Amino acid sequence: MLQELSIKNFAIIDDLHIDFSKGLTILTGETGAGKSIIIQAVNLILGSRADSGMIRTGADTAELEAFFDIRPQSATSTVMETFGFDALEGLLIRRILSTTDRHRIYINGRISTLQILSAITDHLASISGQHAHQLLLREDRHLLFLDAFAGLTNLRNQVHEAYHQLIPILKRRNDLKRLQASQASQIDFLTHQQKEITQAGIQPEEDTLLEQERVRLKNRETIFQAIHNGIESLYNGENAVFDRLSSLEKTFDRIQALDTVFNPIHQKMSDAIFLIEDIYADLSKRLGDTPADDSRLEEVESRLDLINRLKRKYGGSISDVFQRLEAICKDLSQIENVDADIMSLQSEIESLRHHLIDLSTRLSAAREEAARVLADKIVQELSELKMNNSRFQILLKPISADGDDPELHWKDRVIRDSGWERALFMMAANTGESLKPLAAIASGGELSRVVLGLKAILAETESVETVIFDEVDAGIGGAVADVVGKKLVELSGRYQVICITHLPQIARFGQNHFSIIKQQIDGRTLTTIQPLTESGRVMEIARMLGGENLTQTTIDHAREMLQNTP
């Protein structure tokens, strides 16, 4: 139950606080005073998305806060415990809207998210605003109304889950069938690519090694001359380094016998001689490895051309070529197993399809029974709301089976994730009229009573404790308004009911009554709210009856209405 609501810097509301009670609470005020803004605030408390445009002009933030008393063992209590909140403490929701769009949500003092807030408030309150008429006219919502009434949400969710288990498997099977249809040409194509890569016999990093070899081959004359000159200078030529160093080493071999200080120098000379011999051996080997003709260069360039062509065709690098080969082998393996895979998937499809048809059959049967019961209940509600001659029918029409996967067809219908039918609310408001879709009913007063009657019925299955009506009196008046007021009182015996109304015939039934007033203070528009005493209620009812220019007759009439309220 909603106990307290505080609103700061929201639209034309500066600072407003309301204490709510059980029973029927009435909110009244002149048009534009801010009644619907309060409903907007409650919608935000219940998890609607915030908009910085709602912040009062001149303020940086708007704050909305509501406290709910939570009944133990209720649906809301269970969800709160799931998220680690103690329902015995009640539920305190605080939303801060910022002009920077960095809005914040707090639940029982802890910062939270919109997803958690929506989950907790899902069964907290039900708001039937002016948009309820539009929702009722939308045929795609009728099936949801029916399922909510019949308590079929769980079964409907099972159908939804079974449907979405089947769909991806159908897609996979159909993809394999398309692959199967083009199997021969696909196998030829992949086999050609596989053969092209494997016959090339490419090795990792082969292109890099070949590029290095090509550089050597193209510059072999320069390299050969450098090697030859090195050999001549170091070993073979006249006055070679090896000969000169050998002669010098012999001289210092004698000197070290005279003075041991020259021992290290002699040793280094000996080491240098051995190093020159090693260099000579390496140069001689390289000289022998240098090709004398262009045949090897032609081989290298031909090999590089082959490798580069494969790289361009399959990805840009040898690694990419290997990855493509792996993918080709995998695809060929899958194609080879496609028949077996299709058979395996078909078996799974049959099992899932049978399960989906079974669930849809049960759901459809339950809907047929519920449609009759709900239609009868709505007729009864409309009769109590002064629409005695009304007829109401809920048609269940199969979804046509056009263009869908045959596996989703069953008899003359097609299965969707909500079952295989759609619901259509049909009504005749007066004797002699034929049943028509609700969208064809022109009277706003009739639609208002259908909304109220449906809300009264669905409230029993919505597991909520607070029901809010925003201008459910649209298009009605007189005796009908009196009946609507009595219906609201009846509902308030089971739920906390909050009703915004313009009609004194409805307002007089309020067990709690607040007046919403718009004022001009210091050049700013402010909305305030005040609880009405008995005398205050008389004056407010009189205003609703006669406007601003009150007469004693109007005041007496208002007093009489309140005194005669059952």
pLDDT digits (tens, 9 = 90+) for 406-429: 888 888 788 999 999 999 999 888
pLDDT of residue 133: 53
pLDDT of residue 129: 61
Name the region of 271 (left: φ>0; alpha: ψ -120 to 50; beta: rest): alpha
**Residue 163: pLDDT band by 50, 70, 90 thresholds?**
very high
pLDDT digits (tens, 9 = 90+) for 487-525: 899 888 888 999 988 899 999 999 999 999 888 877 777
Residue 493 is encoded by which pair of tokens?
């015996």
Instruction: State the average pLDDT over residues 22-34.
Output: 85
pLDDT of residue 443: 63
Query: How many Cβ atoms from other residues are within 10 Å of residue 289's Cβ?
Result: 9
Burial class of residue 517, CB neighbours in 10 A (0-12, 13-18, 19+): middle
What does the domain layout of the chain look like in residue ranges?
1-124+465-532, 187-335
* 8 Å CB contact between 95 and 42: no
Residue environment code for 177-210, b if the CB has 16+ CB neighbours within 10 A, otherwise e: eebeeeeeebeeebeebbebbeebebeeeebeeb
Q: In 3D, which of 193, 124, 152 has the Cα closest to residue 365? A: 152
Residue 75 is encoded by which pair of tokens?
């649906």
In degrees, rounded to 5, the angle at the alpha carbon of residue 278 between the alpha carbons of residues 275 and 283 is 125
pLDDT of residue 462: 62
Checking if the pLDDT of 152 tops 70, the result is: yes
Assigned fold of 1-124+465-532: Rossmann fold (3.40.50)
pLDDT of residue 404: 67
Residue 429 is encoded by which pair of tokens?
């408001």
Helix (H) or strand (E) holding 340: helix 338-384
Residue 528 is encoded by which pair of tokens?
């305030």
| CB contact set of 115 (below 8 Å; sequence gap of 6+) | none
Averaged pLDDT of the chain:
87
* 8 Å CB contact between 46 and 70: no
pLDDT digits (tens, 9 = 90+) for 349-401: 999 999 999 999 999 999 999 999 999 999 998 888 888 888 999 999 988 76
pLDDT digits (tens, 9 = 90+) for 284-335: 888 777 666 678 888 899 999 999 999 999 988 999 999 999 999 988 887 7
**Residue 542: pLDDT band by 50, 70, 90 thresholds?**
very high
Checking if the pLDDT of 435 tops 80, the result is: yes
Alpha-carbon span 223 to 485, nearest angstrom: 109
pLDDT digits (tens, 9 = 90+) for 458-475: 766 666 788 888 867 777
DSSP H helices in 151-240: 153-181, 183-200, 206-218, 220-231
**Residue 4: pLDDT band by 50, 70, 90 thresholds?**
very high
Interhelix angle 318-336/183-200, rounded to 10 degrees, is: 140
CA separation (Å) from 173 to 179, 345, 407? 10, 6, 11
- DSSP 8-state code for residue 22: S
| CB contact set of 255 (below 8 Å; sequence gap of 6+) | 262, 266
pLDDT of residue 225: 87
Checking if the pLDDT of 405 tops 80, the result is: no
Instruction: State the average pLDDT over residues 31-35.
Output: 75
Checking if the pLDDT of 130 tops 60, the result is: no
Side-by-side strand order, sheet with 104-107: 13-19, 2-10, 61-68, 91-98, 104-107, 110-112
Q: In 3D, which of 167, 181, 178 has the Cα closest to residue 349? A: 167
pTM: 0.62
Checking if the pLDDT of 535 tops 70, the result is: yes
Residue 245 is encoded by which pair of tokens?
């160093």
**Residue 238: pLDDT band by 50, 70, 90 thresholds?**
confident
